[in-house]
Amino acid sequence: MGTTAGKEIFFAINEKVGAVSGLLLKPGNASALLLLAHGAGAGMRHRFMEQVAVKLAEAEVATLRYQFPYMEKRTKRPDSESVLMDTVCAAVAAAKKAAGDLPLFAGGKSMGGRMTSLAAARQPFEAVRGLIFFGFPLHAAGRPGSERGAHLAEVAMPMLFLQGSRDALAELKLLKPLCAKIGKRAELFVVEGGDHSFHMMKSAKRSDEEVLGEVVEKAARWIKRHI
C-alpha cells in the first residue's frame, strides 16, 4: 500500500481551531479499531504510522490515524497541550462513529500517546477500552525524570506500554517502577535493543521490519484480550 493507505476523513475540533484530517484503514474482518495519534515531529502519513496501520490491518485491527492542528497546517511547533487534548477528544468521537459496533482503543506514537493519556486522565473516555503507547515519552532526552507520567495513575483503563530498551525518552529504570505503581492496569512490553522508534542497531540480529512486526503483533494480541 502507498503512503495514503486508508480512507481520508475530516472532523471538527471546535470553532476556533477548525477541522483536521484522518485516515481510516478498516479491513472487512476487523475485530476492533485503534485510534492512532502521531508523534511531535511527523504526521499521520509518516512511514512508521503507515507501517503500524497496515500491519494492524493484517492482524484484523482497524485504525484511524489523524493530524494534530499544527501538523495539518504544516508548521513545526506543536499546539498547546489544551489544543492537543481537545483534538484527541474530538478524534475519539470521530473514531466512535467510524468504529460502529467495533470495540474502540486509543493511543499513539510518542507525544500522540502521551496526549491521549492526558486527555483520558482529564476526562474518562467511556467508549475506549484501553490505551496503547508506541514509545511513551516519559522525559526529555538526557533529562531523566518521571513527572510526565504522574497523570497515568488517574487513567482508569488498561494501558499497554511498547518500549525499546534503548529509548532515550523513557529510561526503563524509571518506567518499570511507574508501571508497577499503576498496577494491573499497566503492561510493559520491552523490545531489547530498540530505540524510541524501535530502530535496531546494525549489530542486532533482527531487522527493524521484523521488530515492528513483533510490536504490532503484541498490540493486536493485547487488543483482542481486552475486547
pTM of the model: 0.96
**Does residue 30 register a pLDDT over 80?**
yes
For residue 1, is it within any domain?
Answer: no
Average pLDDT over residues 53-71: 98
Range of the domain at 118: 7-225
**Which CATH number covers residue 25?**
3.40.50.1820
Q: Which three cell numbers stand for residue 87?
A: 483534538
For residue 2, is it within any domain?
Answer: no
The whole-number pLDDT of residue 4 equals 47
For residue 49, is it within any domain?
Answer: yes
For residue 157, is it within any domain?
Answer: yes
Number of independent structural domains in the chain = 1
For residue 22, is it within any domain?
Answer: yes
Average pLDDT over residues 148-176: 98
For residue 27, is it within any domain?
Answer: yes
Cα–Cα dist 86/183, whole Å: 28
The whole-number pLDDT of residue 138 equals 98
Confidence of residue 204 (pLDDT cuts 50, 70, 90): confident
Q: Are 170 and 136 in contact (CB under 8 A)?
A: yes
Q: Are 38 and 46 in contact (CB under 8 A)?
A: yes
For residue 89, is it within any domain?
Answer: yes
At which residue does the C-alpha cell 512486526 appear? 213
The whole-number pLDDT of residue 54 equals 97
For residue 126, is it within any domain?
Answer: yes
